[in-house]
Amino acid sequence: MRASVIQIAVNEDETVEARRRRAASLVRQQEGADLVVLPELWTTGAFAFDEFGTGAEPLRGPTYEAMAKAASEAGVWLHAGSVPERAPDGQLFNTSLVFSPSGDLAAAYRKIHRFGFDKGEAVLMGAGSELVTVRLPHTTLGVATCYDLRFPELFRGLVDAGAETFVVPAGWPERRRSHWTLLAQARAVENQAFVLACGTAGTHAGVPQAGHSIVVDPWGEVLAEAGADEEILTVEFDPQKVTRTREQFPALKDRVLGLETPWRQGQGQGQGQG
Ligand SMILES: O=C(O)CCC(=O)C(=O)O
């Protein structure tokens, strides 16, 4: 299976319309790939909070139309990253769009964990509530977005739903780049799954982006990693490696479910059982 991970630059000297045209052209150039991936909120920028409202689109807005067309022209499965979606009731969501090679919408995923604590996305956008998987001919995708990467339980839920390849579009900041690569590898190892994590390059809203999109295999090996600038990673991988890894090292079968309850306070203060 061949994937192209498009780490597009999001800079303020380019209009959203120009970037949309450029992204569509980059997708069209990936003809022959099985799967193409774009990052999170690449129209406005993930940290351009002031742009979320003005840049928001209905689900079937201009980005949807451009990406559906690009997917069908290239004949590829396209995870088109995410857009600021304005739902019919006015609520905003950070919504990822996945298109089939015929340009049909295969899935939409509203980001569940919103970033910013009591600011930015966390207050401006609504939270999604549904896990999303997408069946491709050779693998099942599990989709998650940026900050979701910090929440392993979401990925376990996706594994339970059949996910073998996680696709994680992001707008991860440079200042926490070490977390990004570490977490991408951790999610791959603990779930014995591929991780295709696609970040943005450039600087917007004063926040330099990490770039460093990364593809990790189910054993935690890094198959490809981008630098900081705009770049397209092209990677060939064998999706059967998920099944082989899960059979040869069947740690997922040793999961103990329901550990959240009951729990018991330890002794502490050196008085416990050592
Ligand atoms: O978790 C982080 O450090 C970055 C998350 C983020 O930038 C986002 O979800 O938009």
Q: Is the CB of 172 under 6 A from ligand 1?
A: yes
Output the CA–CA distances (angstroms, integers) from residue 205 to 10, 23, 38, 47, 101, in the order listed: 10, 20, 20, 6, 34
In a domain, 228, yes or no: yes
Determine the pLDDT at residue 273.
44
* Centre of ligand 1 from the C-alpha of residue 46, in Å: 9
Query: pLDDT digit string (tens) for 105-134?
Result: 999 999 999 999 999 999 999 999 999 999
**What total number of domains does the chain contain?**
1
In a domain, 53, yes or no: yes
Average pLDDT, the chain: 96
Q: Residue 220 — φ and ψ, nearest 5°?
A: 90, 0
* Centre of ligand 1 from the C-alpha of residue 243, in Å: 30
Determine the pLDDT at residue 42.
98
67: tokens are 């990406």
Task: Report the CATH number at residue 98.
Answer: 3.60.110.10
In a domain, 233, yes or no: yes
Report the nearest-CA residue for atom 9 of ligand 1: 147
In a domain, 139, yes or no: yes
Output the CA–CA distances (angstroms, integers) from residue 12 to 15, 16, 39, 208, in the order listed: 7, 9, 16, 12
Query: pLDDT digit string (tens) for 137-175?
Result: 999 999 999 999 999 999 999 999 999 999 999 999 999
For residue 272, what pLDDT band results from cuts at 50, 70 and 90? very low
**Cα distance between residue 167 and residue 39, in whole Å:** 10
For a ligand 1 pocket test, name from 44, 112, 115, 125 the mutation site with the most ligand atoms within 8 angstroms of its C-beta: 115
Q: Which domain holds residue 26?
A: 2-252
In a domain, 125, yes or no: yes
Query: pLDDT digit string (tens) for 171-192?
Result: 999 999 999 999 999 999 999 9
Mean pLDDT, residues 201-228 taken together: 98
In a domain, 237, yes or no: yes
pLDDT at 59 over 50: yes
pLDDT at 262 over 80: no
Question: Are 50 and 77 contacting, i.e. CB atoms less than 8 angstroms apart?
Answer: no
In a domain, 202, yes or no: yes
Q: Is the CB of 147 under 6 A from ligand 1?
A: yes
